[in-house]
Amino acid sequence: MSTSPLPPPPDLQLSTPLRKRWLQLRRYKDRLATLFIMLGGLGVILSVLMILFYLLYQVVPLLTSARIVPLEQQIDQPLSGQSLFMALDAEGQVGVRLTRQGTLQFFQPSSGTLLQQQSLDLPGNSHITDLADAGDGLMVLALSDGRVLPVQRQYTGAKDLQPVLHYPLGIEPLSLQSGPASRLAAFADQQQLLLVSFSAGQLHQFRFDLSRPDPVPLQSVSLPTPGFEPRKLLLMPQQSRLLALGPEGRLGVIPLHGAGQTYEVIRASREEITLFELLPGRRSLMLGDRSGALSQWFFVPDEYDTPKLQQIRQYDPLSSAPLLLAGRDQDNSFVTLEHNGTLSLYSLTSSRVLLRSNLLGGKPDTLALSPHNGHLLLEHDHRVSSWQLQAPHAEITLSSLWGEIWHEDYDEPGYIWQSSTNATDSAAKYSLVPLVFGTLKAALYAMLMATPMAICGAIYTAYFMAPALRRKIKPMIEMMAAIPSVVLGFLAGLWLAPFMQAHLTAILLLILLLPISILLFAFSWEKMPQRIRFLLPEGWDVILLLGVIPLVAWLAFPLAGPIEDRLFDGQLVLWLGNQVGISYDQRNALIVGIAMGFAIIPTLFSLTEDAIHAVPRHLSNGALALGATPWQALTWMILPAASAGIFSALMIGFGRAIGETMIVLMVTGNTPIMEMNIFEGMRTLAANIAIEMPESSVGSSHYRVLFLTALLLFLFTLVVNTLAELIRQQLRRKYRAL
Amino acid sequence: MRSDNRLMRWFHTDTPWVWLNAGAVALCLLTLLGILLLISAQGLAHFWPAGLLQAQVATDSQSRRIIGEVIRHEQVPVLQLQEAGISLDTDQTEVQRTLIRNGNREFSDNDYFWVLESALSDRHYPDHLAVFERARWGRLYGYLRELSEDGALLMRQGPDTDQEALWHEFEQRRQRTEALQREIDRIESNMLGQINRTLEQLRLEQRRLELLGPLQVPQLEALARERADLEQDYHLLQKRLTRLQQQVGRNRFRVEMADGQVLEFAMADVIRAYRPNGMGLSDKLEHFGIKLWEFLSDSPREGNTEGGVFPALFGTVLMVLLMSLLVTPFGVLAAVYLHEYAYQGRLTRLIRIAVNNLAGVPSIVYGIFGLGFFVYFLGGSIDALFFPEVLPAPTFGTGGLLWASATLALLTLPVVIVATEEGLRTIPTSLREGALALGATRAETLWKVVLPMASPAMMTGVILAIARAAGEVAPLMLVGVVKLVPQLPVDGHFPYLHLDQKFMHLGFHIYDVGFHSANTEAAQPLVYATALLLLLVILLLNLSAILMRNHLRARFRTLEPEL
C-alpha cells in the first residue's frame, strides 16, 4: 500500500437548505427571546414601580374640588304660594315645600315631576306665621290665630313613595296655655316633643308625650326671658339651652328647665345677624351677619364646668349677607346662600371656602340639602331648581389632616384621629398628627435601644475580634434577622411586658450593674496571672463575658427585692404612680423600644460592621505604627473614615423602624394619643393601616386617607433609602481613591 | 492609694471601652440564645404530660378539694391582693400564689384559678387521677368510677374490681369508639361534603343558565332529576350516619370530680385519656411524641387552645412555595433585562436604584396595594367576567391564596432582582464573548452559559426572598389570611388547588391566638409551640435552599460574590 494521501475530507456541505433553516430558526429564537426579555423585564420593573402610581391614583381623588351641577330634569312649572319651608325627605328622593297658606307640595327632584299637593286644613282664614322643624319630618306650625299644630310628614311604599301626613297631637290645632305664640322652637325624639313658645313677652316651655295623642302637655314651665323680642328661636337639647336671636347682633342664651337660673345675652356681632341656624346634630350654631362674616359657635365648659357659648372659628367671608344654610353631618360640610344668590360650600373644620358660584342671581327664598345623595333644592322667585352637589371628600383638607382642630364634642382644640364613631351623627376625625407622632416616638425609642448595642457590637466585631471568631459570630447575628417580627412582638407582649411590670426594679438594677460589673471583671481579668490569661487567644474576650453577664443577671434578681423594699416601699410601679405621677401602662414605649430595637439590631450591626471593615487596613496600621493604642486608632482614624457608612446604616435602620407593623400592633395599646412619656402607648402609621384597612369601605374618605398614610410611608422610606445609598456609593468611590 | 492609681491607669489605657463593646456583642448573642431557649422551653413544655395535683384549699372557713395541673408560681404583693378584695392577715409584703388549671370548662367559669400557697394543704399526686381530653369543653380531671353500655352498668370500681382492670376495659372501649368516630368523620366530611358540593354546583349551573336567558322546561327537569338523585344518596348516607352515631353513643362512663360529685360522660367525646401521675419515663416520652405529632397533624380545636396547627403549617408552606414559583421567573427576567439587554445609561442606573429602594419599603404598603389592586380591582374584574353567577358573594374579589402569594412575590421581587444581578455581574465577560465567538446567538449564550453559572446567585436570591416572606404577617392580614379555615386549599376535588380560598398562616396564628383568643391563659403554651414551629420552618427553608445552592455551586463551579 502506497502512502496514500489522507482520505478526502468528508463531504461537509455547509450550506444545505436544512442547515439554512436551522440557522434561521436559531436567529428567530434569538429575536423572540430578545423581545420576550425586553418586554418581560420592562414589564416587571414597571409593575414594581406601579405601586407608587397606584397609591397616587387612590390619593388624588382627595384633591378633587367640589362641583355643583344642575340635575337633568328640572321642575318646569312655577309653584304657587309664598314659600315658608322646603326640605328633602326619604333620603333625598322627595322634595316638600310648605306655603304660608298651608299647602304642602311634594315633588321628585330626579324626575322633575310634581307628586302631590295637599292642603292642611287650617281653620278659618288663618295662615302660618312661624314654623319650627323638630326633626325627622315633624313640623310645628304656629298659626295666625295663635294656636299651634304639629304635623309629621311620612312616606309609605318602597318604590312609589306616597306622602302621608300624621298629626301626633290630633288634627285640631292646640291652644297653648301661655297664649298665642308668635315664635316657636321645637325638638322631638321618639318619645317626647319639646316645644318652646314666645308669647306676650314671655318664653314658655312645654313637653308633650308623643306615645299618647294627648294634647295636654306633661310639663309647662316659664323660662327666664331676655328683654328683647326674639326674631328666631333655636333649641339645643344636649346642652339644655335655648338660643334667641335679638337685634343688633345680640343673642340670648336661656337655660331650659332651670328654675332660678338666669339667661345670658351675648353680643355676637357688631352687625345685624342675618343667618342664625343650627347644624344637623344640634351641637353647633352658625352665625352670619350683614357684612358677610360667617362663624361657628358651640358650648364649651368653663372653669366651673358651666357650658358657655363661644366662637370657635370664622370662615372665609362672603360678599353679601348670608341668609340660608343647610348642613351634612357625615362629612361635616355645609352650604350657605347669600343675599345676591351666591352659593358657597364650606367644610366645618377648615375656614376656607370649597366652592362658590352664583347660581341664582337674586335673593333666594328657601334651601334644602339631602345628605344622602347630595341633592340640593334652591328656590328663587317661585321657581325651584334642582342641583347635584359633588363633594365626595369635603372633610379632608390640609388643615383637617395636619392642623389643630376644635371639634364639636371636645373642650379644646386638639389633634384627633378617630375614624369610627359610635354616635351616628358625629363625623369621623382624620388628623395624621397623632399617628406621625406615634411612628416617630416608636422609631426613636427603637433607635435609642438598638444603636448603642449595634454600633458598639459592630465596632468590636469588625476591629477587635479575632477573625476566626468573627467568621462564627457574624452569621449568628445575621440569624437574629431571621426571627420574624411576629415572634418578637408576641414575646414582648406576652412575656416581656408582664415580666417587666413584675420585676421593674430588677431590670433597672441590671441595666445599672452590667457596665460596672463588666468593667470590674475586665480589671480583675487583667490582674490575673499570665498562665490563666493566655489560655484564651487574643480577640476571644467575648467568650468570657458570655459567662459573666448571665451571672450578674442571676444575682440582680435576688438583690432587687430588698432594694425595692427599702427605696420604693415594696412596689416601684405604684411608687412611680403615686410619688412621681408617671402612670405605668404594661404595654408601653419601653417594651416597644426593646422589641423593635432587637428587630433592627441585625440590620444596623451588619451595615455598620461592613462599613468599619471596609476601611482600608493601612490607615489603622499607620496610626498604630505612629504609637496610637488600638482604641485611639479606632476613634481617631477608623470611625471618622467610616462615619458616612455608619450614618447611612442608621438611616436604613430608622427607615426599617418606621415601617415595622407587627411588633407595634402586638405590644402597644394602639391608642392614637400624643404622649412623650415612655410608659404610655401610641399608634403608628403602619399599625393603623393594618387595623383599619379591613374595615374600610372602598372609595370612602377613610379608605383614601389610609392610602395617603401608605403613600407617606412609601415616600419616606424611599427618600431615606435613596439618600443612604447615595452616601454609600460616594463612600465607595472615596475608598477606591485611597 | 496605689490601687487607685492602678485603676486610673487602667482606665487610661482605653481597654475598658473595648471590654464594654465586647459586652454589647455578648449581650446581643445572649438575648438571641435566651429567646431561642425561652421559646423552646415554653413550647415543648406544652406537650409534656404534667402531674395532676390533688390538694385541699382553705377558703374563709371552709375547706374544699381541688384537682388540677400546676401551671406556675408567682410572688404577688399583698397590696395588689387587697385591692382585688382578698383580705389577708400577714405582715409580709409579698406572698406566693399558684396558678392551677382545673379544666372542666362546662362546670366552672374559669378553667384557671389562683390559689395562695398558704391556703393549700394535703398535697399529693394520686396514681389513679386521670386526665380526659375531650372534643368539646376541654379537659376533664377526676377518678374513673364506672363504665356502662346502653344504660346498663358494665364495670364499677369496688372491692372486687380494681382500678387497673377498670382502666384497661375503658381504654379498649375507647379505642373502639375512636375508630367508629373516625368513620363518622369520614362520612361527614368526605361523602356528605361531596354531595353538598355537587348540589352547590347544580345551583350555580342553574344560575349561570338563568343569566343567559330564561330556562326551558327540559333543562329544569334535568336539573331537578339530578338534584333528586343526590338527595336520595344523601338520605342513605344520613341513615348510615345515624346508625353509627347510635353505636358510638352506647358507651358512657362516670367520673368522680374534685368536689366529690360523680357525673356521667359519653365516651365518644373523649379523644385521649391518661393518668399522668402513674406514668413512667418511657410512657411520658411516648405521650410527648404523640402530642407532638397531634400538634403537627391535627386541626385546631376549642377556639385554638387545643389541637394542632396543621392547616396553618400547610398554608404557610404552600403560600411560600407559590410565592417562589411566581417570583423566580419574573425576578430573573427583570435582572437579565437590566444586566444583559438594557442600555447601561442613566435611566438604567436610576431604575436600579429604584428597585433597590423598594426592598426597604414597609411590608404593609405592599399589603394595602395588594388589597386595593389585586383583590378589589383584579379580583373584582375576574369575578364579573368569569363568576357572575356566584355574585354578590366574591370568589376572587376577596383575599385568598393567589393574591397573598402575588403580594408577597411583589414584596420580595426586588431582593431576587438584586441578588441575580449580582450573580450576573460576577460572570466574566470573556465567557460570554467566547460563546458568541463560537457562533452562539445571544439567547443561546444566555440560556446555556450565563444562566446556569448564575443559578447559585439566583438560588441565593430565592433564599432571601423565602426567608423574608415566611415571616411577614402584616400584608397577609389584609389579603387573605383568616383565623380558621374549614378546609385546606388543596383537596381532592377539581381544580385540586383552590387559589381563591382563604388560608391559615403560622405567623398570623401566633398573632391571633396570642392576642385575640377568649382564653389567653390556655392559649399561651400553644402560641409558644407555634412560634417554635415557625422558627423551625424558616430555618428548614433556609437550610434546604442553602443545600440546593451548594449543590449547584459544586456543579457549576463558578465564581460568585461573597455573600
Judged by CB atoms closer than 8 Å, whether chains meet at B471 and A485 is answered as yes
How far does A479 lie from chain B, in Å, by closest CA? Answer: 9
For position A208, what pLDDT does the model report? 86
Least confident span in A9-13, A717-721, B349-353, B362-366: A9-13
* Nearest neighbour of B18 by CB, restricted to A37, A38, A460: A460
Residues of A in contact with B376 (CB under 8 A): 698
User: What ipTM does the predicted assembly reach?
Assistant: 0.85
Q: How confident is the model at residue B561 (pLDDT cuts 50, 70, 90)?
A: very low
Q: Cα separations (Å) of A309 from A241, A266, A316, A489, B13?
A: 10, 8, 21, 48, 72
Judged by CB atoms closer than 8 Å, whether chains meet at B20 and A721 is answered as no
Q: Mutate which of A456, A480, A636 to disrupt the B interface (most B C-beta within 10 Å)?
A: A456
Residue B413's closest CA among B349, B468, B480, B370?
Answer: B468
Judged by CB atoms closer than 8 Å, whether chains meet at A693 and B371 is answered as yes
Interaxial angle between packed helices A17-59 and A701-737, expressed in degrees from 0 to 180 and rounded to the nearest 10: 120
Tell me the C-alpha distance between A707 and A642, whole Å.
38
Judged by CB atoms closer than 8 Å, whether chains meet at B507 and A484 is answered as yes
Q: How confident is the model at residue B366 (pLDDT cuts 50, 70, 90)?
A: very high
Instruction: Let me know: does A512 contact A579? Beta carbons within 8 Å.
Output: no
For position A423, what pLDDT does the model report? 59
The 3-state DSSP class for residue A70 equals: strand
B147: left (phi over 0), alpha (psi -120 to 50) or beta: beta
Average pLDDT, chain A: 85
Strand order in the sheet with A353-358: A322-328, A333-338, A342-347, A353-358
Does the structure show a pLDDT above 70 at A693?
A: yes
Q: Which of the listed ranges A40-44, A404-408, A692-696, A702-706 does the model predict with the highest average pLDDT?
A: A702-706
Judged by CB atoms closer than 8 Å, whether chains meet at B534 and A486 is answered as yes
Does the structure show a pLDDT above 80 at A249?
A: yes
Judged by CB atoms closer than 8 Å, whether chains meet at B15 and A526 is answered as yes
Q: How confident is the model at residue B365 (pLDDT cuts 50, 70, 90)?
A: very high
Judged by CB atoms closer than 8 Å, whether chains meet at A40 and B524 is answered as no
Judged by CB atoms closer than 8 Å, whether chains meet at A631 and B18 is answered as yes
- Segment B505-551, tens digit of pLDDT: 999 999 988 888 777 777 888 899 999 999 988 888 777 767 777 77
The 3-state DSSP class for residue A660 equals: coil
Residue A172's closest CA among A141, A134, A199, A195?
Answer: A141
Does the structure show a pLDDT above 60 at A95?
A: yes
Tell me the C-alpha distance between A364 and B267, whole Å.
82
DSSP-derived secondary structure letter, B118: G
Q: How confident is the model at residue A425 (pLDDT cuts 50, 70, 90)?
A: low
- Segment A105-155, tens digit of pLDDT: 888 888 878 888 888 877 777 888 888 888 888 888 888 888 888 888 888
Judged by CB atoms closer than 8 Å, whether chains meet at A452 and B24 is answered as yes
Phi, psi (degrees; rounded to nearest 5) at B146: -145, 150
**Burial of B192 from C-beta contacts in 10 A (0-12 / 13-18 / 19+):** middle
Judged by CB atoms closer than 8 Å, whether chains meet at A47 and B410 is answered as yes
Q: Cα separations (Å) of B44 from A408, A486, A645, B32, B525?
A: 55, 19, 43, 18, 8
Residue A335's closest CA among A351, A346, A350, A322?
Answer: A346
How far does A181 lie from chain B, in Å, by closest CA? Answer: 56
Residues of A in contact with B337 (CB under 8 A): 37-38, 40-42, 44-45
How far does B138 lie from chain A, in Å, by closest CA? Answer: 23
The percent of residues in chain B predicted with pLDDT above 90, rounded, is 21
- Segment B480-506, tens digit of pLDDT: 888 888 888 888 777 788 888 899 999
- Mean of the pLDDT values across residues A398-420? 86
Does the structure show a pLDDT above 90 at B408?
A: yes
Q: Mutate which of A42, A45, A703 to disrupt the B interface (most B C-beta within 10 Å)?
A: A45
Q: How confident is the model at residue B375 (pLDDT cuts 50, 70, 90)?
A: very high
How far does A599 lie from chain B, in Å, by closest CA? Answer: 11
Q: How confident is the model at residue A2 (pLDDT cuts 50, 70, 90)?
A: low
How far does B17 lie from chain A, in Å, by closest CA? Answer: 8
Instruction: Let me know: does A382 contact A79? Beta carbons within 8 Å.
Output: yes
Q: How confident is the model at residue B560 (pLDDT cuts 50, 70, 90)?
A: very low
Does the structure show a pLDDT above 60 at A259?
A: no
End-to-end CA distance of chain B: 54
Q: How confident is the model at residue A224 (pLDDT cuts 50, 70, 90)?
A: confident
Q: Sign of the C-alpha dihedral, residues B543, B548, B554, B558?
A: negative
- Mean of the pLDDT values across residues A503-532? 86
For position A297, what pLDDT does the model report? 92
Residues of A in contact with B361 (CB under 8 A): 51, 659, 713-714, 717-718
> Chain B residue closest to A458 (CA)?
B25
How far does A375 lie from chain B, in Å, by closest CA? Answer: 28
Residue A378's closest CA among A367, A388, A389, A387?
Answer: A367
For position B99, what pLDDT does the model report? 81
Q: Cα separations (Å) of A246 from A225, A252, A297, A381, B275?
A: 12, 7, 16, 28, 87
Q: Sign of the C-alpha dihedral, residues B57, B62, B63, B66?
A: negative
Q: Mutate which of A511, A574, A662 to disrupt the B interface (most B C-beta within 10 Å)?
A: A662
Global confidence as pTM:
0.87
Phi, psi (degrees; rounded to nearest 5) at A103: -100, 130
- Segment A440-475, tens digit of pLDDT: 988 999 999 999 999 999 999 988 888 888 888 888
Residues of A in contact with B511 (CB under 8 A): 486, 489-490, 662, 665-666
Residue A713's closest CA among A693, A733, A698?
Answer: A693
For position B562, what pLDDT does the model report? 43
The residues with which A252 forms a beta bridge, in sequence order, are A244, A265
- Mean of the pLDDT values across residues A288-307? 88
Residue-by-residue DSSP string for B254-315: EEE-TTS-EEEEEGGGEEEEE-GGG--HHHHHHHHHHHHHHHHHSPEETTTTEE--HHHHHH
The 3-state DSSP class for residue A233 equals: strand
Number of neighbouring beta carbons within 10 Å of residue A20: 11
How far does B501 lie from chain A, in Å, by closest CA? Answer: 17
The percent of residues in chain A predicted with pLDDT above 70, rounded, is 96
For position B530, what pLDDT does the model report? 92
- Mean of the pLDDT values across residues A587-593? 81
> Chain A residue closest to B31 (CA)?
A598
- Segment B273-292, tens digit of pLDDT: 888 888 888 888 998 998 88
Instruction: Let me know: does A262 contact A240? Beta carbons within 8 Å.
Output: no
- Segment B174-226, tens digit of pLDDT: 888 888 888 888 888 778 878 888 888 888 888 888 888 887 888 888 888 88
* Nearest neighbour of A690 by CB, restricted to B364, B534, B539: B364
- Segment A225-237, tens digit of pLDDT: 888 888 999 998 8
The percent of residues in chain A predicted with pLDDT above 90, rounded, is 19
Q: Cα separations (Å) of A284 from A299, A311, A316, A348, A404?
A: 8, 10, 18, 10, 18
> Chain A residue closest to B333 (CA)?
A41
Q: How confident is the model at residue A523 (pLDDT cuts 50, 70, 90)?
A: confident
- Segment B139-166, tens digit of pLDDT: 888 888 888 888 777 777 766 667 788 8
Q: Which three cell numbers stand for residue A410?
A: 371636645
For position B556, what pLDDT does the model report? 65
Tell me the C-alpha distance between B326 and B332, whole Å.
11
